[in-house]
Amino acid sequence: METLAFIPSPSAGEIHLGPLPLRGYALCIILGVFVAVWLGGRRWVARGGQAGTVADIAVWAVPFGLVGGRLYHVITDYQLYFGEGRNPVDAVRIWDGGLGIWGAIALGALGAWIGCRRRGIALPAYADAVAPGIVLAQALGRWGNWFNQELYGRPTDLPWALKIDPEHRPVDTPDLATYHPTFLYESLWCVGVALLVIWADRRFRLGHGRAFALYVAGYTVGRFWIEYMRVDDAHHVLGMRLNNWTAIVVFLLAVVYIVVSAKKRPGREEIVEPEPEPEPEPEAEPEPGTDTGGPDSADADAAPEGSSAEGSSSAKESSEDGPGRGKPSGGKPAGDGGGDGPAGAESVAKGPEPRRKAVDGPAS
């Protein structure tokens, strides 16, 4: 079979940055995570959420998703890691490829639920915001299969066929060099699903998890026919690959969720994230030299040093009696009507006496 044009495969699955090897598969996963967080954050803010929330929850969702994806792959392809001539340690070598999207989404959703619960956010609203970013992350992650020369389709001589090196070809067709680039098909399909979800979300104002369910339904449709083209080893159930059955079940669940959710909770959430509680204002520090010993300190500071409480009371009463009617500091009456006794009261009642002109000079 001669092919006029084809897509070449990388000669190596890693790039060396000095002594540090950078594997193409890991690079694609990392880029996908950044795109998902960036786009999800923009959509979350547009829906009324706070900047940084998507990244904070991703701290929980991403590790859970990686573990879930690896577990699904190891469980469904256990023959690659366990048995005669196999090394079980390879099960943790995630950088060599092998992530099942079904397990990644399932366990990643658990991590996202934990993160949402810690912030008081409903998981469906968060899922709607990050759905297009997740499927774009899948589109980028599929290019990791290109670096590893894995998960390709049946032999073909189409102009966009993928050339596979001899050591990575199926044992049944060692002499055939070009195959369907199923990684490219799925990558392009995922981009289309992302655009579909963004358009439908704007057009129909999807809410309560329906944008995420649309992503799931759209992805499974493409995964079904792409999975059908692959030639890598896989478990079969009733003559069909296991991932095809998984795609069918997940598609039906997503469609049922869309229908039921639209009837029970039409429209979109008005509030997706509670307002943060205001931080308590710090107490004002007293000025230097100010006594904060208690309520009596102000009166004590106001009184002259050495004066008694009785003296302060007398001064207060003197000021209230008006000019000329108070008591001097010695406590003696200042004139006939200046006392606090009956004479003073009678003088107040009669009014002030006329001022007499002093003719004898100052009193001695």
pLDDT at position 71 over 70 = yes
Instruction: State residue 292's pLDDT score.
Output: 53
CA distances from 197 to 102, 206, 216, 217 (A): 19, 9, 10, 11
For residue 22, list its beta bridge partners. Answer: 15
User: How many other C-beta atoms lie within 10 A of the C-beta of residue 91?
Assistant: 19
Residues 58, 114: Cα–Cα separation, whole Å? 10
pLDDT at position 308 over 50 = no
> 204-234 pLDDT, tens per residue?
999 999 999 999 999 999 999 999 999 998 8
Q: pLDDT grade, residue 137 (50/70/90)?
A: very high
pLDDT at position 338 over 50 = no
Residues 137, 133: Cα–Cα separation, whole Å? 6
Contacts of 6 (CB under 8 A, 6+ apart): 159, 160, 161, 162, 163, 177, 178
pLDDT at position 324 over 50 = no
Instruction: State residue 84's pLDDT score.
Output: 83
Q: pLDDT grade, residue 48 (50/70/90)?
A: very high
pLDDT at position 322 over 70 = no
| CA-based nearest residue to 129, from 206, 223, 59 | 206
The stretch 296-301 carries a mean pLDDT of: 46
**What percent of the chain has a predicted confidence (pLDDT) above 70?**
75
Query: Which pTM value belongs to this model?
Result: 0.74
| CA-based nearest residue to 178, from 189, 166, 186 | 166
| CA-based nearest residue to 163, from 7, 10, 14, 11 | 7
How many CA atoms lie within 13 Å of 356's alpha carbon, on the beta-carbon side?
7
pLDDT at position 88 over 70 = yes
Residue 107 burial (C-beta neighbours within 10 Å; 0-12, 13-18, 19+): buried
Phi, psi of 337 (to 5 degrees): -110, 15
Residue given tokens 């993160």 in the structure block = 115
Instruction: State residue 286's pLDDT score.
Output: 63
Q: Which pair of tokens denotes residue 362?
A: 């100052």
pLDDT at position 163 over 90 = yes
Mean pLDDT of the chain: 82
Q: pLDDT grade, residue 341 (50/70/90)?
A: very low
> 230-258 pLDDT, tens per residue?
999 888 999 999 999 999 999 999 999 99
Q: Are 346 and 362 in contact (CB under 8 A)?
A: no
The stretch 330-352 carries a mean pLDDT of: 44
